[in-house]
Every structure is written in structure tokens, then in C-alpha cells.
Structure 1
Amino acid sequence: MPSNFAKIKKLQRISPIWLIPIVAATIGLWMVVTTLHNQGPLITLEMDNAEGIEPGKTPIKTRSVEIGKVQTVRLGDDLKHVIVTARMNVEAEPLLRDDTRFWVVKPRVGKSGISGLNTLLSGSYLELQPGKSKERKLEFTALDTPPVTPTNAPGLRIELSSEQDSALSVGDPVLYRGFTVGRVEQAEFKSDTRQMNYQLFIQAPYDALVTTNTRFWLNRGIQVQAATDGIKVKTGTLETILSGGVSFSVPSGWELGQPVKTNKTFNLYADEDSSAIRRYQDRIDYILLFDDSVRGLNPGAPVEYRGIQIGSVLSVPFFVPGNDLLTTHSRKIPVLIRIEPGRIREDMDKDQLPNWENEFTAAVKQGLRASLRSGNLLTGALYVDLNFYPDLPKSDGLGELANYHTLPTVPGGLARIEQQVVQLLNKLNQLDINGTLTKAQTMLTETQAAMANVRKVSASMDKIATQQSTQQLPAELKNTLADIQKTLQGLSANSPAYGELNRSIQSLNRVLHEVQPMARTLNEKPNALLFQPDTQNDPVPRKAK
């Protein structure tokens, strides 16, 4: 057979035993693909510490349903955080959004109550709160504490800004007229503005209560305030007494205002009274120069006109350049006050400020003066009182000091009483007390002597009154009066005696009439009865020249 022809051989069949590893490999590959296909995403959590977290055991839950499990726990590269990896179930993948939040559920005792007691037996676990964002995310930072409110809860989130010390903490209640309607979600200090910023959540439907005229203030549990109008004691609910909180409302007499949107910023006031103070844009500052002590007069004290507040005190004392308090050139204490005309006139605006200053100048000329009055005798707090004193010397108007107008002042309260007492004592010191006392002593001696004589006369009158003859006087006087009455009856107009008496009187009148010329002559010349009176010639008229 030629060598260039191929040799044909019949191949042997594959052994059936190889089918077993092939099937096993196929099944294994299918299981791997199925496992990878059904396996959820792997997420990474950054935490401050791994307290209560165990790899392979600690579950991840939402609404008490397990949706994942912790795989590994390791220390971060910065050695300050813990990195936790967890495998999530496939059905949990839609929950992993940019605003999804994680935190560790364990026993906690906080202001909002006790939570996580069920983990005492089952152990701690990670809670997932789903977000609403459309952006997918696999790396998260776990919260130190559970969130106060759910992300998707209906309501309103607002911001509060305060220059006071940190007085609120996360979880504190937000109250409206004593009823809890929300919580404080965040508390953060801004170093650039040096203010405390708070985020509040007010749940629906109470979010409609927040308007543009709403005011927020702190609840300080039991608050005792001693002001010029007395001592005030305010108490809140048991929760606010223990942990504080924040309240809000629209001040009485204000309009409700318009609804607000999310992230609206409000100021946080120290108390309800300060929150109700209306902020007036139009105001005028004046300086008061007091001779009295200003101890007890503090910034914020009211400036009143006959009991109505028209302003407040700004600075005590107000240091004016070149006007030292202890120099001989100025012995008065300057106090800066602010008058707000809007408290008196609702339609006040900036265009009317010059007219207001002119009216104030006219009022000063009519006797308007400022004085210090005691608002609280217990605390010694003072306030500034404006009133008219027409009996005082008139003023030319407003003065000037350091580009401010000055208002004339008068001593007020105890200082004025003290001044009047001093004036009275000065007048008493000017009196001649010794001479007055000497005269008073002499008068007293004479009075004593006169009283002794009066007692003697009284004793004599007593003796006379006790005599029998004195006691008979009334009877004898009665008889005498009876005789006089009989005599007068005999001289009646129709009696003969009355007619005879009348004729005698007429004759006597004629005699007296005739005797009058002789009596006149004797009066002028007493020797007329012995010598013949001189004959006087008739007067001769003067002849014409």
C-alpha cells in the first residue's frame, strides 16, 4: 500500500464518567450566577465607634424587617473612625438614596423618653430610614443618635438664630400654648457669625400656625423675673421644667401674618415678654443728665409718659467723649434713652420725625421733664418717667451734647423727697429757736398764772352759787319782771299816762329848740351873759380898681 495515503482509524467514544463533573460545574456556575444575581449591594458605613456591632451577626432593619447584615468591621485609615461593611438584600436596593440615614438602635434614656429596651435581649442592630432623593448612594455616615423626626414626615422645618448661650438641645419639645407640636432636630454653633443655629420640625397640621409674625422664645422651666412692674413667676409643663424647650405664638394684638415656607429663619428670644416687644423702625435718641444716683437703672428699663411706655433705656452710663464722670466740669450722669414715636402714633413714619422733634421741643418749653422713679421697692429697679412740671422754671428747649439732644431733668422719687426734707431742715435751722422757746416759756408762765386766777374766780363763783340769797335771786327777778310788765301795760298807746308823757316830751322839744341859740352864743363867747356882745357892721363890698 503506497505510503502517501492517510490511515483512517475509528475514534473511541467519551466515557460517561466525565458527565458528572461537567454537570457539577454547570450547576456550580449556575448557582454562582444566581447568587450574584440575587445578592444585594454592599454598602459602607462610617461610625464613631463599633459599640454593639458584631460582624456576621448584627442585622440591618427597617420597620422591624431585616434587610441586610453586617459583614466586616475595621478601623478607618485616620484611626478616628470605624468602617463597617454590610450586605443588603436585593429588595433593599431602592432604599439606598442620598438622604437615607442609619443609626444604631440600643437602650437609650433621653429627653424624649426611654427607647431600645427590646435590644437588651436581642442585641443592638442598625436601623435604616429610607430617603426620598433620586440619587443612589452606597457610602453613608451613621448618626450618633436616632433622628427626632422621619425625613418624609409631613410638616415644616424652620431655622432659629440666637446670640444667647446654648439653651436647646436635640429632642427638646416645640410647644404652642403648652401643647407639643414639634421637636428640635439640630443644634449647631456657627463660629463665623458667633450664633447658635437650631433646626425645628413642626409636624402637620400645626405647621400652619407658623406665620411671618410668629415669635419664638425659650422655655426655662420655672422662671422668676423681678422687673419694674413687680415679681413674675412662670412655670411650664413637667417636660419643659426638666428639659426646657421652645414656644411660639403670635403676640396678642398683632396680625396673624402670612404663611411661611421651609427653612424660614426666625430669631429666638429669651422670654415671652421680650418676644412681644414690637420693633419700631423710627426712633429718636436723647441724652438725660441726672444729678441723682442711677443705681438700679439698667439698660432695657422702660421710658414712660404717665404710665405708658414710649421708649427704653439704651446705656447707663453713656460715656460721651470729653465728658468724664469724675471731673469738676461735669458732675451729672449721662443716660442714653430711645424714644419710639410709633408707640404713640400708629401712622408714624420717617417723614414725620422732624415734626415730632418740634413737638418735643414745644413740650419741653411747657414744662416736660425727665425723672427717675422707683418701679420696684423690693429690687430697687428704676425707670425713666416723663411728665409735665409747670411750676418749675421754664426751659428754652432741647440742649445739645455730643450730637445728641438733651432733655431737662428733675429730681424724682426719693431724691426729690430728700431734697424737700433738706430744704425744710435748712429753714428750721434759720429760725431763732432760743428766742421762740423763751417767749413760749413766758407765755406758759402767764398762762399758768391766768389759769390760777380763773380757778380762784371759779371757786368764788361756786361759793356765791351755793349761798341761799343767790338761790333766791331767780324768784325775786321773776317778781321784778312782772312789775315791769305791769308798768309797761300802764304806758300803752291808749292809756292817759302815755298821752301825758307824749305832751311832756313835745314841750321839752320846744324848750330845747329855743335854748339852742343861747347855747351856741355861750359856746362861742362864754362872757356873753356879763358883757354886751360886739355889734358887727355890715360888710362893704370892694370897689373896682
Structure 2
Amino acid sequence: MTSRHIPITARVSQLRHLSPIWLVPIVAAFIGLWLVYATLSNQGPLITMTMINAEGIEAGKTMIKARSVEVGTVQSVRLSEDLSHVIVTARMAVDTEDLLRQDSQMWVVKPRIERQGISGLGTLLSGAYIELQPGKANKHADHFSVMDTPPVAQPDEKGLRIQLLSDESRGLNIGDPVMYRGFTVGRVEQSHFSTGSRKMEYQLFISAPYDSLVTTNVRFWLNGGLRFEASTEGVKFETGSLENIIKGGISFDVPKGWDLGKPAASRHQFKLYTDQASSSNRDYERFLEYVLLFDDSVRGLAEGAPVEYRGIRIGTVQAVPYQMDDGKLLGSSPGQIPVLIRIEQDRFDSDDSERALGQLYRDLEQQIRKGLRATLKTGSLLTGALFVDFNFLPDGPKAAGYGKFGQYPTIPTIPGGLARIEQQANRLLAKLNALPLETTLGNLDAMLAESKQSFAAMRALSSNLNKLASQPDAQHLPAELTKSMQELQRTLQSFSSSSPMYGDLNRSIESLNQLLRELRPVARKVNDKPNSLIFNQTPEPDPVPRRAH
């Protein structure tokens, strides 16, 4: 029986329903998507921060806090491409978007030792963290600059910010107190050196309501410790209170006797003075400038020295010596030293018009013609400091330096102080030297010799009269003649060698002779060296005994 080959064909039919096996990957995908959504919905925003250095900052450990509440964690720390700063990425907690504003501030909290005390000790164990101070701006931000020190004032704190300019860089740091009569009313916010103005620039924040104390007339000065000053008024030594020495910082107030002025505007600039004494000096805006040409030495005369008129200050010395733009230093006469001064009208006249300043110039010209002269005087024998003094000397010696010196008018000067005494002494010595002392002393000797001869003749006459009166014939003279002779005899007896008058006269003549003998070497010394009466002479060496033979 033969077999037949029957072909087998597959029957293909389309499924009408999804296989249950596909449910497993679909459910897994939905679970994954849900997990991703849940993870993303539970994460806060990602922010980027820039810092100068990353001291104490660690990825995955360093926290971001706001009022001691954790609001984020640092995720990564890396250097910038130009290696100038550090870039830190942090993940914030959920619902922290309202904290991230354009004016929000961040700074690193770590242990610090400052003038105000020690802070951040809690980070010794927990490590440094970043403090977040929320801002009030309307715009959201995700890039921030982290400060190395805490801010002085909060962004929403009310107060006044002003600028200070100083020629010195000592004494102020960020956070130092700003004090008014010993009470802290603000802090130093910023401090930097400006290459344009070549001055130190400080920004201060004065908290409300104390900002109303800052007016246009206030003066700021450093709270000093020790101060030593030598000027025309002598030597001054001052020390601040122990509190000011410890706290440091600056103080401000309106100088005594000044108007309060108008309230200061924000960012108003003030000058920072080195101490309270210098802050009381008014800046006079109306003045006349003159040049004084002195024949004397100006050693001891310094910039800022007073210019006085009979003890009343009327100006200030500006430059010692004054040098013109062309390099000219000496005056028209050989040896004259130019000194630039200012006559400050505000010191004695409240009229601030230009007409008043012109009238002052005309008045000074008139007073110069009447004998107004300038001279150097010693303000303090201890320091040797000089000042300029004006006074009237219509009959004085011829003044020097009247006219023009460059663009400035000049006021005549006369020698003063030791120079004037030296000139007077030289004139006195010249007169003494011109006197004929030798002839005068010779005439005195001759006069004394003649006086001795006259007294000898009077004694002889008295002796003869005594003999005449003792003769018997003299008894027969008239009574009146006898009486006259007796009176004459008594008168002549007063000149006898035994009378007191003769003794006194003889002693006077001997004293005069001794004085003349003592004056002879002095006269020879003055004739040889006229200045020996004022200046000490070099003492002669002690005598050296001769060697024995």
C-alpha cells in the first residue's frame, strides 16, 4: 500500500486581544515615571553661588540655613575656568523659592574673633555653613555671590548710608562701630582704597532713628587711643577712654558753637579727621592769599601755623617755603624765604559777599601804608614752633618784601624774635665801640688828681686860719668879725682830715679809683671784641705746672 505525502501548512490568525504578559513592563514604566515625578516634585530649586575661596565648604555636607533652619545642601564645589573664584552648586529644599530674591544675601558662618567679640563657636563641631538672609525684591534669582563676612545691616533695615574719605588707611575695619557721644548708632559697611582719588573710602550705615543726627555740619573723627602734639601752643598729650581704645571705630558730632545744618542725604560724602581736636577746625572758604618774604630763618614755622594780629588769629600758613611753578624759591633779595599765608575773612567777619572780600583787600593795602608789618614770633619755647604776627610799626626799620611775588601780593616783613634782638645788640655794641673810652678814663684820672690838690690847699688854708685866730692880736677884732671868723673856722674844720665829711669824700674818691681800675680791662675787651658782652667767651685752658728741673 503506497503512502501519500500530505503537505502541512500553518494557520495564521490575528489576535484580537493584548497578551497579559505586556502588563508587566507597562506597569514598571508607569511606576518609574511616577517615581521620577515624585522625586522631582519633592526637590527644591538648584542654585549657583560664587565665592572667593571654599574654606570649610564640602560637597554633600555643608548646609544652607536661614535663621538656623536648614533650607539646602551644597552638591558640588569646583573652580571657575579662569581660576579667580569658586563655583558652588546647591540644592534647595522644597518651597524655598520665596527666599531666593535678587537682594537676598549669603555669607559663610565660621569661628571669628572680632572687636565686638567671638562669634561662630558652634561651627567648631558641626562645621561651617552658609547663612541665607531672604530679600524683599520682586524678581527671583538663582545666582548669588557669597560674602566672607556677615553684612552690617539687613536689606530691609531702615537707616542712612554715607561715604567717608580719609588720607590715612589706619584705624577702620568692616563692622567697626560708629558712635555719637559714646553711643553706638551704626557700623562700617565697606572699606577700600580708591586709586583715582588716592584716598581711603568708607561706607557707613547709620540705623534709624539715629540717622536724623547726621547733618551737613557734622564732623567724623577716629576714636584715638594716645595723641601727642607739639605746636605753637606747647605740647599736648591726650588719651581716649578705655572703651574707645577697646572698641575703636569712629565718632561724629557737630562742633561746639556751630549750627546743626540740614539733614544729610543718602551717599553724602564727609571727611574723616584723625582726632576730635582737628575736626573742630572750620574750613574757611573765603580768604585772601599773600606771600611774606622773610630775611629770618623759617625753621620752626610749619604748614598750618596760625597767623595772628595782636594775639587774635586771622589766618593760616599754607606753604613753607612757597615755591612758584617755574621753580623760583628765593625772593627778589638774596636770602629771602617766601611763605604763603591766607587771611581768612570768616574768622572775623560774617559777611560772605564778594564785595566784603574786596573791601578787606583794600583795607589791608591801606593798613600796610600806615605801618602794618609781619614778623616771626616764637609760640612755644619748649617746641621752638613759630607763628606769623602782624602789628603796626610806623617808626620801625625799613620793611622788606613789599610788592608782588608771582601772582600773589606781598606784605612787608621785619625781623623778629632773636634776629631782632641780635640786630639791636649789634647796634648797641657799635655805639659802645665808637665811644672814646680811653680818653674819658684819662680825663677822669686827671680830674681826680686835681681834686686831691684842691683838698690839700683847703687843708693848708684851714691850718693858717687856725694859727691866725690863736694870736693875741686877733682878740681885739670886732665882735662881728670874730663871730664870722669862728663860723668860717667851723666850716673849714668840716673839711679837715679828722672830720666825717672828709672821710666820706676820701672813701668815695678811693671807690671811684678802684672802679676805674676795674673798667680798664673791660673797656679794652669791648674795644677788641664788641660781642663779648652778649656771647660767652671760650674759657682759657687751665694752667699747666712746669716740669721740675
Please give the range of the TM-score, normalised by the shorter of the 2 chains. 0.7 to 0.9
Partner of 2:498: 456
The answer as to 2:116 corresponding to 1:112 is: yes
Q: In structure 2, what is the Cα distance between the partners aligned to 1:271 and 1:393?
A: 43
Partner of 1:72: 76
SS in 1 for 2:425: helix
* Range with greater deviation from structure 2 (422-431 or 204-213): 422-431
Q: In structure 2, what is the Cα distance between the partners aligned to 1:257 and 1:106?
A: 43
Q: In structure 2, what is the Cα distance between the partners aligned to 1:370 and 1:131?
A: 65
Q: In structure 2, what is the Cα distance between the partners aligned to 1:355 and 1:433?
A: 57
Residue among 415, 419, 423 paired with 2:419: 415
Residue among 365, 370, 374 paired with 2:369: 365
Residue among 406, 424, 437 paired with 2:410: 406
Structure 2, gaps ≥5 residues long = 1-10, 460-494, 504-549
Residue among 300, 311, 316 paired with 2:315: 311
Residue among 402, 425, 432 paired with 1:428: 432
Map Cα deviations across residues 349-398 of structure 1 (whole Å, 9 max, x no partner).
21222322221112112221111111122221111111122432688996
Partner of 1:150: 154
Partner of 1:138: 142
How far does residue 73 in structure 1 lie from its aligned partner after superposition?
A: 1.5
SS in 2 for 1:208: helix
The answer as to 2:293 corresponding to 1:295 is: no
Partner of 1:536: none
> Identity across aligned pairs (percent)?
54
Give the conservation status (yes or no) of the 8 Å contact 1:190–1:196.
Answer: yes
Residue among 330, 338, 350 paired with 2:354: 350
Q: In structure 2, what is the Cα distance between the partners aligned to 1:168 and 1:110?
A: 12
* Range with greater deviation from structure 2 (384-393 or 23-32): 23-32
Specify the code of the residue in structure 2 equivalent to 1:285: E
Structure 1, gaps ≥5 residues long = 1-5, 462-545
Residue among 204, 210, 214 paired with 1:206: 210
Q: In structure 2, what is the Cα distance between the partners aligned to 1:221 and 1:98?
A: 42
Q: In structure 1, what is the Cα distance between the partners aligned to 2:496 and 2:24?
A: 159
Give the conservation status (yes or no) of the 8 Å contact 1:40–1:88.
Answer: yes
| 1:91-110 correspondence runs (5 A) | 91-110=95-114
Give the conservation status (yes or no) of the 8 Å contact 1:365–1:397.
Answer: no
SS in 2 for 1:407: coil
Specify the code of the residue in structure 2 equivalent to 1:37: S
SS in 2 for 1:416: helix
| 1:30-45 correspondence runs (5 A) | 30-45=34-49
Q: From the superposition, tell whether residues 425 and 178 of structure 1 become closer, same or farther in structure 2 (CA, over 3 Å).
A: farther
Q: From the superposition, tell whether residues 437 and 181 of structure 1 become closer, same or farther in structure 2 (CA, over 3 Å).
A: farther
Partner of 1:528: none
Query: TM-score, normalised to structure 1's length?
Result: 0.75
Query: TM-score, normalised to structure 2's length?
Result: 0.74
SS in 2 for 1:310: strand
| 1:180-199 correspondence runs (5 A) | 180-199=184-203
Specify the code of the residue in structure 2 equivalent to 1:374: T
The answer as to 2:255 corresponding to 1:251 is: yes
Map Cα deviations across residues 213-237 of structure 1 (whole Å, 9 max, x no partner).
1122233321212121122233334
Q: In structure 1, what is the Cα distance between the partners aligned to 2:167 and 2:448?
A: 77
Q: In structure 1, what is the Cα distance between the partners aligned to 2:323 and 2:375?
A: 20
Partner of 1:49: 53
Q: In structure 2, what is the Cα distance between the partners aligned to 1:187 and 1:222?
A: 24
Q: CA RMSD in A?
A: 3.4
Give the conservation status (yes or no) of the 8 Å contact 2:100–2:134.
Answer: yes
* Range with greater deviation from structure 2 (118-127 or 166-175): 166-175
Give the conservation status (yes or no) of the 8 Å contact 1:364–1:398.
Answer: no
SS in 2 for 1:427: helix
Give the conservation status (yes or no) of the 8 Å contact 1:225–1:233.
Answer: yes
SS in 2 for 1:188: strand
* Range with greater deviation from structure 2 (198-207 or 172-181): 172-181
Q: In structure 1, what is the Cα distance between the partners aligned to 2:354 and 2:452?
A: 79
Specify the code of the residue in structure 2 equivalent to 1:380: G
Map Cα deviations across residues 430-450 of structure 1 (whole Å, 9 max, x no partner).
233334445566778899998
* Range with greater deviation from structure 2 (393-402 or 96-105): 393-402
Q: How many residues matched? A: 455
